[in-house]
Structure 1
Amino acid sequence: MWFRNLLFYRLREPVAYDPEAAEQRLANLHFTPCGAFEAQRSGFVPPLGPQAPLVHAAAGCLLLLLQEESKLLPATVVREALAERVTALEAAEHRKVRKRERERMRDEVVADLLPRAFSRHKRIWGYIDTEAGFLVVDAGSEKQAEHFIEQLREAWGDLQLAPPQTELAPGTVMTRWLAQRQTPSDVELGEEAVLEDPSAEGGEVRLKRQDLTSAEIQAHIEAGKRVRALALTWGERLSGVLDGELALRRLKFLELIREQAGDRDPESEAERLDADFVLMALEVRGLLPRLLEWFGGEQQRARPDAG
């Protein structure tokens, strides 16, 4: 249940803490497996198990789980099957198969192979914090997060949200942290960073297991490189790699939090998931406002009460 990534979005309008209403919204997007001739399908499944509701409510948050199924059809298999059909047709009719006909035959090959293809399943967790006014998604990429949001908007037609905007550019502020060898009192630098050269497209330096306050790093900063991603720890509670878009990846909840989780004795897997989620959501609720403060606070026009 512990998220490994945090991509968060500001809710433009308040969302009611009403799990029954949320359940009704998601009902038409309940996941069902792919049909024999479908390449992919996605929908929501119960976060706490098959017999649980589609929406799990706890600590002022609505927890959701999107499941994706995609059929695996290796390109080489499709090419080989298509080549066989093209060769057979050309030999039988003594003519060359043209491009448009080849494309139609490829579609036929894919349709024939889909019922025998293996399925791959992927899950994307997310929750709406109705008290803090954020949507939080555990996604390894922006593309995955966008797919989660698209599905959520399909069910929640009036859901208004946007990536958070801060007064100061995160990359500029994190570069200053390294240049001045000074961070906010509740931030400790890790040993990893990505520095990029704004004057050279694609020019970057990836640092791992490095002292980010060393003279070597200072030389990179003085040469004009800027921070694109930076490993850090917040308040000895959690750590991760923060990028210039405010996405926190490779998230780890540290010993202090894990000890709190270990003090419980849940009677079932569902109870354990619920307790872990509450603990995690409360930690993230404390982190996000503070994270925005590091970069000058949220822009006025990005706040939900802005005119």
Structure 2
Amino acid sequence: MWFRNLCVYQLADAFRIDAEQLEERLQTGAFQPVGGHDPESRGWVPPLPGGEPLVHVAGPRMMICLQTESRVLPPAVVRETVEERVSEREDAMGRPLGRREKARLKEEVTLDLLPRAFTRSKRCYAYIDLEARWLVVDATTWREGELLTDDLRALLGTLPIRPLQTDSAPGQVMTEWLARDHFPSDLEPGEEAVFEDPRSEGAEVRCKRQDLRSDEIRGLVRAGKRIRRLAVDWDGRINAVLDADLSIKRLKFTDLVQSDADEREAESAAERFDADFSIMSGELARFLPRLQSWFD
């Protein structure tokens, strides 16, 4: 189990929970398949495929998983069916339907079609590190991460967290790294960046497969552009794209880390999952404090 994106939250020091307590609370919100007339269902499932516990423990870290099952109704199908029924109603009533009548008819059509709609499932993984005081969610955006944190808070009654915060603005700091060609000692720029123009909303420049240290790219900074996303290599062990909002995208553990995982013998899928989780969370336990220090 290797996370691909990160939204990191800081846990308040006062927050305490053990695996047994967390398991008990998650069981009250265990996943149930979406009902015939429901558009969506969310609930907790075992992180380990085929496993039973809703909490997977590795040392001081506990992994959890939220599953969402949605019914998918193609808008074109709904629109076509509504148009047919509007026409039938208007013919029967001998007058055109009003806006509210059409809105109610659309609701009726949606309810009628939902049981026949196919379903789509998505899982969102996260783990709690009680030692380092992190809640780490495998999510591409903070909004996506909040789906999990909101549901978790509803079950626990309280979840005192806040998104990772730093003293300095990450976008400004990353821009200064590039402008001065001076990066933290354990960090190297990758070959990708997104620049934005603070003077023009929505204006951006995307660079891929580029030498970010080249005079051409650094000229963007001299022209007033600011880095919003920056690809980096940390310590030869993690490749990722840092976002100015402190979310982390396209996380990849290098061959150095993968070889450590391969060296651990696993006789079952459960043992393999446990080994991968231990190695991944151990690497992130080293990486996340460094990430925070770069911008403090």
Question: Is this a same-fold pair by TM over 0.5?
Answer: yes
The residue type equivalent to 1:173 in the other structure is V
1:155 and 2:134 are equivalent in the alignment: no
Moved more, 41-50 or 273-282: 41-50
What's the counterpart of residue 88 of structure 2? 88
1:195–1:226 Cα contact (<8 Å) kept = yes
- Aligned-partner Cα distance in 2 for 1:129–1:72: 35
- Aligned-partner Cα distance in 1 for 2:275–2:36: 39
What's the counterpart of residue 252 of structure 2? 252
1:17–1:62 Cα contact (<8 Å) kept = no
What's the counterpart of residue 122 of structure 2? 122
- Aligned-partner Cα distance in 2 for 1:185–1:24: 45
2:4–2:251 Cα contact (<8 Å) kept = yes
- Aligned-partner Cα distance in 1 for 2:140–2:255: 24
What's the counterpart of residue 216 of structure 2? 216
The residue type equivalent to 2:194 in the other structure is V
What's the counterpart of residue 302 of structure 1? none
1:13–1:159 Cα contact (<8 Å) kept = no
1:202 and 2:202 are equivalent in the alignment: yes
What's the counterpart of residue 287 of structure 1? 287
- Aligned-partner Cα distance in 1 for 2:240–2:225: 21
The residue type equivalent to 1:69 in the other structure is E
What's the counterpart of residue 132 of structure 2? 132
- Aligned-partner Cα distance in 2 for 1:17–1:274: 21
- Aligned-partner Cα distance in 2 for 1:155–1:282: 27
Cα displacement (A) at 1:14: 4.1
Matches within 5 A, 1:27-176: 27-176=27-176
- Aligned-partner Cα distance in 2 for 1:144–1:269: 28
2:140–2:248 Cα contact (<8 Å) kept = no
The residue type equivalent to 1:206 in the other structure is R
- Aligned-partner Cα distance in 2 for 1:167–1:89: 62
- Aligned-partner Cα distance in 2 for 1:54–1:202: 42
What's the counterpart of residue 273 of structure 2? 273
Of all paired residues, the percent bearing the same amino acid is 49
The residue type equivalent to 1:90 in the other structure is E
The residue type equivalent to 2:283 in the other structure is E
- Aligned-partner Cα distance in 1 for 2:142–2:167: 22
What's the counterpart of residue 18 of structure 2? 18
Cα displacement (A) at 1:131: 0.5
Moved more, 229-238 or 151-160: 151-160
- Aligned-partner Cα distance in 1 for 2:274–2:256: 19
Q: What SS does the corresponding residue of 1:29 show, helix, strand or coil?
A: coil
- Aligned-partner Cα distance in 1 for 2:134–2:47: 19
- Aligned-partner Cα distance in 2 for 1:93–1:280: 65
Cα displacement (A) at 1:278: 0.6
Report the RMSD for the aligned CA atoms in angstroms.
Answer: 1.0
1:47–1:56 Cα contact (<8 Å) kept = yes
Cα displacement (A) at 1:69: 0.4
Q: CA offsets, 1:157-208, max 9 Å, x none? A: 1110001221111111100110011101000110000111100111111000
1:14–1:130 Cα contact (<8 Å) kept = no
In the superposition, relative to structure 1, how do residues 51 and 171 fare at CA in structure 2: closer, same or farther (>3 Å)?
closer
Runs of 4+ in 1 over 3 A off after TM superposition: 13-17
Consecutive unaligned residues in structure 1, runs of 5 or more:
297-307
Cα displacement (A) at 1:51: 3.8
